[in-house]
Structure 1
Amino acid sequence: MLLTYVSLEHYKRKWIFNHKDLPVTDEDKLSIKPLTEKSSMEIWNQWISNKSSRAEQFTKGDWAAKANAWTKMDHWQSAWDSEDSNLPEMLAEFIQWPDETPVYFCYEKYQIIETRWDVFVRNWKCFLFFDDGPILISPKQKQAVMFEQNGQYKLGIRG
């Protein structure tokens, strides 16, 4: 699958990576690559769902809708609100991927950002300015994380 990207300069949500209170280094910005709508759709259909376009629409047959897909739940909001830039502890323990692991932060079917695990870890708060059910996955790994608007996140294994 050949993916195409939108430059961060032209990304409609670029402000989340230019927020004065959560600075992203220029080096990290080079590794934050929003996908075009067509490439986002291809990733979503392959790794998330070929039926639903948003997390709240998951239905029977979607791995993320299966009760046993998600094994743990914790709160991300308090860590996000704190001065500490570290990932929530349970999340950091659950995912121990190598820094260079490619990850997709999937807001919905047509809004996905590709980056590396180390870049996501350093800038996770920026990604969560939009928190309506995004899912973090890596095509090379089975673990997945879904962030919910109520300030919780679910840890699970992709089916």
Structure 2
Amino acid sequence: MNYVELEQYSRKWIFTHASMPVAADDLEQIKPFTQARSSQIWCEHISSQSPDADHFDKGDWAHVDKIWSDPIDWQHAWDSDDIDLPPELLEFIEWEDNTTVFFCYEKYNVIETKWGVFKRNWKNFLFFDDGPILIGRKKKQALWFNSNGTFKCGNRS
């Protein structure tokens, strides 16, 4: 089994919080991986040596500064009543809504969903903003969110 039932997911509350509930159709498409599968996804797509974004090192594609844009504010959009992602993010990512994405909190905590689901519920995903990286399956673009309220756009190798 690759997934943990959302009901059993330790951070389930970020998707069921009364102030920002996620629609039932979207909840069905938010699939946390088991720790073992999360680790495999992380090692294959993010880093084989670093357990989280705070520990990227030489050899990690994300460690290379020149692949990343300057930091762009996401906190202002998150704090607003508007549900849309920051426009700079949408200009960079032009994926189809059915593109499979991995929202990677850290080595043992990765969620699979669709780009459309993430776009509608991005504020929920960012309740935990300690360096998660969003990547698309078979896509080069990546987004790296920072707890200081900014994100960077980059193209992974």
Confirm or deny: 8 A CA contact 1:134 1:148 kept in the other structure.
yes
Equivalent in the alignment of 2:94: 96
CA contact (8 A) 2:75 2:149 kept: yes
The corresponding residue for 1:118 is 116
- Coordinate RMSD, CA, aligned: 0.8
Runs of 4+ more than 4 Å apart: none
Deviations 1:48-102 (A, max 9, x none): 0001010010000100000112024200001000000000110011101001000
1:139 shift after superposition: 2.1
CA contact (8 A) 1:32 1:114 kept: yes
Partners in 1 of 2:12 and 2:78 — Cα distance? Answer: 19
Is 2:8 the partner of 1:10? Answer: yes
Tell me what 2:38 maps to.
Answer: 40
The runs of 5 or more residues in structure 2 that have no matched partner are none
C-alpha deviations, 1:99-148, integer Å up to 9, x for none? 10000000000000000000000000000000000000012110000000
TM-score using structure 1 length: 0.97
Aligned partner of 1:62 in structure 2 is 60
Q: In the aligned structure 2, how far is the partner of 1:20 from the partner of 1:65? A: 37
Please report how far the alpha carbon of residue 22 of structure 1 lies from its aligned counterpart in structure 2 after TM superposition. Answer: 1.1
TM-score, normalised via structure 2 length: 0.98
- Write the distance in 2 (CA, Å) between the matches of 1:15 and 1:42: 25
Local SS of the residue matching 1:93: helix
Q: Which residue of 2 aligns with 1:133?
A: 131
TM-superposed deviation, 1:23: 1.6
User: Are the counterparts in 2 of residues 16 and 129 from structure 1 also a CA contact under 8 Å?
Assistant: yes
How many residues are treated as equivalent by the alignment? 157
Structure 1, unaligned runs of 5 or more: none
